[in-house]
């Protein structure tokens, strides 16, 4: 069975880094990839379309307590903004 490769787009993740943090609105340090059951796999980061902007402090909090944050809503809001700005087509 062939290993599935996740969608990667450096231009998209670079754009995500320009957005404010979804949680606290401070500058985002790096994109956080949401963990979705059935997407990704062992030692495989989720596809880049699942990422959202988070600052380092919020990123650590989300990773420690993922169910305490509305990650799916943040991902959808990030995608919506990307499509409305023409970043994704």
- Position 44 scores a pLDDT of 66
Q: pLDDT band for 41, please (50, 70, 90 cuts).
A: low
Summarize pLDDT for 48-64 with one digit per residue, the tens.
Answer: 999 999 999 999 999 99
- Position 6 scores a pLDDT of 78
Residue 42 has pLDDT above 60, yes or no: no
28, 53 contact by CB (below 8 A)? yes
- Position 1 scores a pLDDT of 55
Instruction: Work out the mean pLDDT of the chain and round it to a whole number.
Output: 87
Q: What is the pTM of this model?
A: 0.84
């Amino acid at each position: 069975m062939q290993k599935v490769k996740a969608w990667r787009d450096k231009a998209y993740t670079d754009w995500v880094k320009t957005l404010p943090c979804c949680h606290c609105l401070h500058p985002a340090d790096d994109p956080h990839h949401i963990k979705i059951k059935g997407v990704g796999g062992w030692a495989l980061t989720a596809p880049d379309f699942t990422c959202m902007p988070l600052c380092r402090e919020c990123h650590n909090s989300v990773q420690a307590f993922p169910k305490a944050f509305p990650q799916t809503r943040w991902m959808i809001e990030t995608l919506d903004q990307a499509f409305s700005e023409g970043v994704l087509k």
